[in-house]
């Protein structure tokens, strides 16, 4: 009796897991309840699946860019200015070089560098009063990790602005700085790309020279090869006269990225769209100092490595400014990007999949049809082959399915198409356990044992085999879950849930039903097992 109650309780708990409390009693209400609780994968629901690579080394580069200015200022303040501080190799963002410190103050330079930068950098002195600062590996890692996390947060905020329900945005393939983005129910790839990809890296640089008609001409203006502290950049704004032209800019921006607090699309006196930006307080002070000492020089507003606008400094600017030459859409996007925070580094696409809603619906229909046909065929066969015991097996099979779906409902695991295949295989394994037990019971009966003893022996012998087969399969399912991706994982999830459910139904439930039947039978009456 206690066992019956236990089984019914389990049944109820898992039915609740599948449906929770439906909002009505009609068929459609149950259907909605089912689809609300069982999370369908993108292949069934339709949607977009993206794998992105965050170029984290750019974040390291941005940090050393900052350090260049800091080192310069610190040496200046200490009274032993260096001839130059630069990043010698664009391919090694973690490297800084200081050249030409006063030869008689080497000890002071060393102790200043050690105290200010020793925690982050390995400092080596070289010939000709030069120093090399290499960012420590732990520091590089922590910057990269932070950049990745920030990229995830930023993309999440942007996606939330799209109004997608239940998006997945998470780290992918641990340690490779990749991000997985899954957007169920969305099939507009170009718009999603636009929103995610836009790094909206806004910077303001000092203009060294320009505009020039070609890249070569730009390089010529600074002596043929561009020195490491400068950079050549193409024009990307809307001004017709400047299309295809190039500028030479100082490599290090005056303000960049996080320094911008907000930007709003606006309209200038002539009705042309532009954007008004606001700097943070700190950056505003810096900008004020710079603009007040550089009146008359040119500044360039750079968005995603393209010059949007170049203008003379008319007066000192503190924390507000206007960017023209954007066009309406760009101005709006820029405003959205700056409000949601900038991406710390640019992003590459590694993989994109789009599943349209029609394909998803078709797959569900076919998957469910195949499962039902398969299951019915098996259940009918069990009834014919095992008679009374077949009912027993069929009950166990149905309970197995309910527990499996209930598991999915409770755990929030997603059901994918290979997952449905996993369900079908679970049905197969469930049948196998029953067949193993029944065949064993038949053998014992043939050997002349009484029904009760035969059931007892049958279960005892089959149990060993069932444990072995299930544990082996669970071992492999767990490994698949750990090392597999996408469809393989979905398959592993349903398979392992199904196998656990199976251990319970085939062995415990089935046994209990046998026992209850035996209890009602007269001594010596035959067992209905075909």
Partner 1 sequence: MELFRGVNVDWLGKKWYFLAFSLVFSVAGVLSMLFWHGIKLGIDFRGGTLVYVQFEQPPDPDRIRQAMDHAGIHDSRIQPYGTAAQKQVAISLAQKETQESALDTGRQTIVQALNTNYASGGAANQGKLDLDNASQGALAQFLQQNDPEHLAGAGGGSQKYAEQAAAILNHRDHDLGGIFSSIDQLNGVADPAVVSLLKQSAYLSGFHVFAADIIGPQVGAALRKQALMATLYSLAGMLIYLWFRFELIYGVAAVVAVFHDTLITVGAFSLTNQEITLTVIAAILTLIGYSMNDTIVVFDRIRENLRISRRENLTSVVNRSINQTLSRTVLTSGLTFLTVLSLYLFGGEVLHGFSFALVIGILIGTYSSIAVAAPMLVAYQDWRAKRGKKAVLPAGKKARV
- Pick out residues in 186-225 that bind partner 1 (CB under 8 A): 187-191, 193
Closest to partner 1 by CB, 118 vs 487, is 487
> Which of 32, 72, 264, 465 is close enough to bind partner 1 by CB under 8 A?
465
Specify the length of the chain in residues. 530
For partner 1, the binding residues in 136-165 under the rule CB under 8 A are none
H/E stretch holding 53: strand 47-54
Q: Rule CB under 8 A: is residue 356 a binding residue for partner 1?
A: yes
Q: Rule CB under 8 A: is residue 361 a binding residue for partner 1?
A: yes
Cα 35 from chain centre: 24
For partner 1, the binding residues in 486-505 under the rule CB under 8 A are 486-488, 491, 495
Closest to partner 1 by CB, 109 vs 397, is 397
Q: Rule CB under 8 A: is residue 359 a binding residue for partner 1?
A: yes
Closest to partner 1 by CB, 295 vs 372, is 372
- Contact (Cβ atoms closer than 8 angstroms) between residue 392 and residue 446: no
CB contact set of 150 (below 8 Å; sequence gap of 6+): 341, 343, 344
| Stretch of 220-228, 245-253, 284-292, 484-492 contacting partner 1, by CB under 8 A | 484-492
Minimum gap (Å) between residue 375 Cβ and partner 1: 7
3-state secondary structure of 153: helix
Minimum gap (Å) between residue 62 Cβ and partner 1: 21
Closest to partner 1 by CB, 282 vs 351, is 351
Q: Rule CB under 8 A: is residue 475 a binding residue for partner 1?
A: yes
Minimum gap (Å) between residue 289 Cβ and partner 1: 39
Closest to partner 1 by CB, 267 vs 478, is 478
| Stretch of 107-115, 144-152, 372-380, 451-459 contacting partner 1, by CB under 8 A | 372-380
Q: Rule CB under 8 A: is residue 483 a binding residue for partner 1?
A: yes
**How far is the C-alpha of 168 from the C-alpha of 470, rounded, in Å?**
32
Cβ-based neighbour number of residue 365 at 10 Å: 10
CB contact set of 526 (below 8 Å; sequence gap of 6+): 451
Greatest CA separation for the chain: 111
Closest to partner 1 by CB, 141 vs 349, is 349
Return the structure tokens found at 55: 């170029």
> Which of 141, 289, 358, 411 is close enough to bind partner 1 by CB under 8 A?
358
| Cis status, amide bond into 211, omega within 30 of 0 | yes
Q: Could you give the C-alpha distances from 243 to 216, 287, 309, 311, 493, in angstroms and in order? A: 16, 28, 11, 16, 55
**3-state SS track over 442-488:** HHHHHCCCCHHHHHHHHHHHHHHHHHHHHHHHHHHHHHHHHHCCHHH
**In the block, residue with structure tokens 């259940």:** 379
Q: Rule CB under 8 A: is residue 239 a binding residue for partner 1?
A: no
For partner 1, the binding residues in 381-440 under the rule CB under 8 A are 381-382, 384-385, 417-418, 421-422, 424-425, 427-429, 431-432, 435-436, 439
Which x/- pattern, by CB under 8 A, does the window 52-81 give for partner 1? -x----------------------------
Q: Could you give the C-alpha distances from 170 to 151, 167, 418, 426, 433, in angstroms and in order? A: 10, 10, 22, 30, 39
Applying CB under 8 A, the site for partner 1 has a residue count of 81
With the C-alpha atoms ordered 38, 39, 41, 44, is the resulting torsion angle positive or negative? positive
Closest to partner 1 by CB, 446 vs 519, is 446
Closest to partner 1 by CB, 343 vs 417, is 417
| Stretch of 136-144, 287-295, 330-338, 368-376 contacting partner 1, by CB under 8 A | 368-376
- Contact (Cβ atoms closer than 8 angstroms) between residue 20 and residue 398: no
| Stretch of 125-133, 213-221, 400-408, 468-476 contacting partner 1, by CB under 8 A | 468-476
Q: Rule CB under 8 A: is residue 463 a binding residue for partner 1?
A: yes
Closest to partner 1 by CB, 255 vs 493, is 493
CA atoms within 13 A on the CB side of 143: 21
For partner 1, the binding residues in 306-345 under the rule CB under 8 A are none
Closest to partner 1 by CB, 124 vs 479, is 479
- Contact (Cβ atoms closer than 8 angstroms) between residue 226 and residue 191: no
Minimum gap (Å) between residue 317 Cβ and partner 1: 36
Cα 390 from chain centre: 47
Q: Rule CB under 8 A: is residue 461 a binding residue for partner 1?
A: yes
Nearest to 200 by CA among 326, 333, 332: 333
For partner 1, the binding residues in 160-189 under the rule CB under 8 A are 173, 176, 187-189
H/E stretch holding 354: strand 347-355
Closest to partner 1 by CB, 366 vs 521, is 366
Closest to partner 1 by CB, 316 vs 398, is 398
**How far is the C-alpha of 196 from the C-alpha of 347, rounded, in Å?**
9
């Amino acid at each position: 009796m206690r066992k019956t109650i236990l089984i019914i309780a389990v049944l109820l708990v898992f039915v609740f897991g599948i449906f929770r409390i439906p909002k009505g009693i009609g068929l459609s209400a149950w259907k909605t309840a089912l689809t609300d609780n069982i999370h369908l994968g993108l292949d069934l629901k339709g949607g977009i699946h993206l794998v992105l690579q965050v170029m984290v080394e750019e974040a390291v580069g941005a940090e050393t860019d900052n350090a260049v200015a800091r080192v310069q200022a610190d040496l200046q303040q200490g009274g032993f200015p260096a001839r130059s501080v630069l990043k010698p190799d664009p391919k090694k963002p973690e490297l800084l070089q200081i050249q030409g410190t006063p030869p008689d103050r080497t000890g002071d330079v060393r102790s200043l560098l050690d105290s200010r930068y020793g925690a982050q950098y390995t400092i080596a002195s070289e010939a000709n009063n030069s120093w090399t600062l290499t960012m420590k590996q732990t520091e590089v890692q922590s910057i990269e990790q932070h950049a990745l996390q920030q990229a995830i947060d930023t993309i999440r905020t942007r996606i939330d602005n799209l109004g997608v329900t239940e998006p997945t945005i998470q780290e992918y393939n641990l340690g490779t700085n990749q991000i997985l983005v899954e957007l169920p129910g969305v099939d507009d790839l170009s718009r999603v790309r636009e929103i995610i990809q836009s790094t909206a890296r806004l910077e303001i640089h000092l203009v060294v020279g320009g505009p020039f008609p070609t890249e070569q001409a730009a390089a010529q203006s600074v002596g043929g090869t561009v020195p490491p502290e400068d950079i050549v950049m193409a024009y990307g704004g809307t001004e017709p006269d400047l299309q295809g032209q190039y500028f030479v800019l100082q490599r290090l921006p005056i303000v960049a990225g996080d320094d911008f607090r907000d930007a709003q699309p606006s309209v200038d006196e002539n009705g042309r769209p532009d954007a008004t930006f606001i700097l943070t307080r700190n950056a505003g002070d810096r900008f004020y100092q710079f603009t007040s000492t550089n009146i008359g020089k040119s500044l360039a507003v750079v968005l995603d490595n393209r010059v949007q606008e170049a203008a003379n400094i008319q007066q000192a600017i503190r924390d507000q400014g206007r960017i023209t030459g954007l066009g309406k859409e760009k101005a709006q996007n820029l405003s959205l990007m700056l409000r949601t925070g900038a991406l710390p580094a640019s992003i590459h696409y590694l993989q994109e999949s789009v599943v349209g809603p029609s394909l998803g619906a078709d797959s569900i229909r076919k998957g469910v049809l195949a499962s039902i046909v398969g299951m019915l065929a098996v259940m009918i066969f069990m009834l014919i082959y095992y008679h009374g015991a077949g009912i027993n097996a069929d009950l166990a099979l149905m309970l197995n399915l309910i527990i499996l779906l209930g598991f999915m409902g409770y755990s929030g695991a997603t059901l994918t198409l290979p997952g449905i295949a996993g369900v079908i295989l679970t049905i197969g394994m469930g049948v196998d356990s029953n067949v193993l037990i029944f065949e064993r019971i038949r053998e014992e009966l043939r050997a002349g044992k009484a029904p009760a003893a035969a059931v007892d022996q049958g279960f005892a012998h089959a149990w060993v085999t069932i444990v072995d087969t299930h544990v082996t399969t669970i071992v492999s399912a767990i490994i698949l879950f750990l090392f597999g991706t996408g469809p393989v994982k979905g398959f592993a999830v349903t398979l392992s849930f199904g196998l656990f459910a199976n251990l319970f139904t085939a062995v415990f439930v089935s046994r209990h039903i046998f026992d209850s039947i035996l209890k009602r039978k007269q001594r010596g009456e035959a067992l209905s097992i075909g």
